[in-house]
Amino acid sequence: MQLRLVTACLFAALLAAPAAAQTPPDDGPAWVFLVGTWACTVSNASTPVMVTYARGPRDASYTQHVSAPLANGTAYTADGWISYDPSAKRWVYIATGNVGDYTVATSPGWRENVLVLTDVLSTGGGTGGTTTFKKLNDTTVDATSVQPSGTVLQHCAKK
């Protein structure tokens, strides 16, 4: 499904954190700029996709909500969670959409304004796709998602 690519493209999922105290990730502060609402132009969507991020219930965690109209006029929504896994020293993203789509991806984190998410599992059992985000500034992000089904480009601006 094409909108699964949109969900995968959109930054980045809250993996249940261990009960013990987390060791804060080195790039933890790099994620804070995401909090708020973003309007995204996506190469495989005819209308803007709205994405909202909020701080999650734990340190180093965020929630994500995606909404977009589908071509048939119905509403597409997806919810995602982003959290740090201190034992593996990686970020984990998990998202599910209202049409049965899902994505599980991991990342080592932000490196000089670039974040790469690698799919571990996605709708239909796919694996190995990547989404690369480039933070242009605190209010603008570009992303490229390369999946077996094709490449999707995205430009997001904070509202």
Provide the pLDDT for residue 159: 94
User: Tokens 């799919």 — which residue?
Assistant: 119
The one-letter amino acid code at 159 reads: K
Tens of each residue's pLDDT in the chain, 159 residues: 443 333 333 433 222 333 345 566 878 888 999 999 999 999 988 899 999 999 998 888 999 999 999 888 889 999 999 999 999 999 999 999 999 999 999 999 999 999 999 999 998 888 889 999 999 999 999 999 998 889 999 999 999
pTM of the model: 0.82
- Domain at 2-158, CATH from 2.40.10.480, 3.30.470.20, 2.40.128.20, 2.40.50.180: 2.40.128.20
Provide the pLDDT for residue 7: 38
Q: Is the dihedral of CA 154, 27, 120, 50 positive or negative?
A: negative
Give dist(CA 154, CA 46) in Å, integer.
12
- What residue segments make up the domains of the chain, in order of their start? 2-158
Which residues neighbour 65 within 8 Å (Cβ) at sequence distance 6 or greater?
51, 52, 77, 78, 79, 80
Provide the pLDDT for residue 15: 27
Comparing CA positions, the residue from 131, 91, 95 lying closest to residue 114 is 131
